[in-house]
């Protein structure tokens, strides 16, 4: 493929882009790939998770504007473009029974309607590759699950001239991935590495409760080497100051341990309209070779993925 490579990462809230696949995006930006982050909601109902900022009345009363400024700083650090879909955060319901979701929130939108602005962005940005969440949302936040649903509708619809007329010339993305950076093999490897070095691991409780919060059986198909970009990832994450405690669990594993023990970010290839061989080390595998078979992309039928 001789044309410009473009990657679109679809996320639910500001800060998700910095905690899921950020080093991958920084790597591709450094290689000249155009990268766009799409943020579905403004994070208006997100809690202030940084103890240093809790109780700050200005932040509490202006959380939407504050999180937008944090997002602006993070996207500059990552070197990506970023667009908002403009939907309202659904919040994370708590209690037994769970309370109803707030009226007008993202998770209660009709999926076909909510996909329209994403289709418009796909048709204008023209990405070959899109990343999003799996059907469980990565974790069961209603906005993450809705992000998956909307992403799937848009991936299938963007290349169909009969769907969403008036949103630009059709464009068919060729590959779609689920972010799977929070996976058990990675967590276990880092946990054991900390214990072997005589350090406390932040992942003991994670591993003990894994079955409660994670669904087993996800296939990790793609391991992107990006250890040298972990510092950029961490800097972008810290830009989301309301959401990230700099003394919290995110940063308990020393950077050099992470780079040595687990130097990749992981993905699950969910859809491909080009031939590729698994496992991959590149989200653009099958697209960089000018002899790659793109006939399946033209017909809209999936390419073969060799095991």
Helix pair 22-30, 230-239: axis angle to 10 deg? 120
Which pLDDT value is given to residue 218?
A: 85
Residue of 146, 151, 216, 140 whose CA lies nearest to 184? 216
Per-residue pLDDT of 148-182, as tens digits, reads: 999 999 999 999 999 999 999 999 999 999 999 99
* Domains of the chain and any CATH numbers: 6-181+220-301 (3.40.50.10320)
Which pLDDT value is given to residue 290?
A: 54
pTM above 0.85, yes or no: yes
Residue 270's region, left for phi above 0, alpha for psi from -120 to 50, else beta, is: alpha
Per-residue pLDDT of 1-14, as tens digits, reads: 558 999 999 999 99
The residues of the chain scoring below 70 in pLDDT are: 1-2, 211-217, 289-307
Binding-site residue positions = 13, 16, 144
CB 29 within 8 A of CB 73: no
3-class DSSP state for residue 129?
A: strand
Distance CA 88, CA 85 (A): 9
Distance CA 44, CA 119 (A): 24
Backbone φ and ψ for 235, nearest 5 degrees, come out as -65, -40
Binding-site residue positions for Zn(2+) = 13, 16, 144
- Find residue 8's DSSP bridge partners: 36, 130
Cβ contacts of 253 within 8 Å, gap of 6 or more = 190, 193, 194, 201, 202
Residue of 270, 296, 2, 36 whose CA lies nearest to 172? 296
């Amino acid at each position: 493929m001789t044309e410009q490579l473009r990657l679109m990462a679809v996320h639910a809230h500001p800060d998700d882009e910095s905690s899921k696949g950020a080093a991958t995006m920084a790597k591709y930006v450094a290689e000249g790939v155009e990268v766009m982050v799409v943020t579905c909601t403004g994070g208006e109902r997100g809690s202030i998770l940084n103890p240093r900022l809790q109780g700050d009345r200005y932040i509490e009363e202006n959380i939407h504007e504050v999180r937008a400024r944090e997002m602006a700083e993070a996207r500059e650090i990552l070197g990506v473009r970023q667009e908002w879909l403009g939907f309202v955060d659904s919040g994370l319901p708590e209690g037994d029974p769970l309370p109803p979701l707030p009226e007008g929130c993202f998770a209660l939108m009709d999926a076909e309607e909510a996909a329209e602005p994403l289709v418009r962005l796909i048709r204008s940005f023209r990405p070959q590759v899109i990343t999003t969440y799996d059907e469980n949302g990565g974790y069961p936040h209603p906005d993450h699950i809705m992000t998956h649903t909307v992403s799937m509708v848009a991936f299938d619809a963007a290349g169909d001239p009969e769907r969403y007329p008036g949103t630009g010339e059709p464009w068919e993305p060729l590959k779609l991935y689920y972010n799977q950076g929070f996976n058990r093999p990675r967590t276990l490897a880092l946990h054991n590495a900390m214990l072997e070095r005589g350090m406390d691991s932040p992942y003991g409780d994670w591993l003990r409760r894994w079955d409660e919060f994670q669904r087993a059986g996800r296939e990790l198909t793609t391991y992107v080497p990006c250890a040298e970009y972990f510092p950029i990832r961490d800097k972008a994450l810290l830009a989301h100051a309301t959401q990230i405690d700099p003394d919290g669990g995110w940063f308990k594993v020393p950077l050099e341990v992470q780079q040595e023990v687990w130097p990749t970010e992981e993905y699950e290839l969910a859809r491909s309209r080009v031939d590729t061989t698994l496992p991959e080390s590149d989200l653009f595998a099958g697209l960089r070779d000018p002899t790659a078979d793109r006939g399946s992309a033209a017909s809209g039928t999936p390419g073969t993925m060799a095991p």
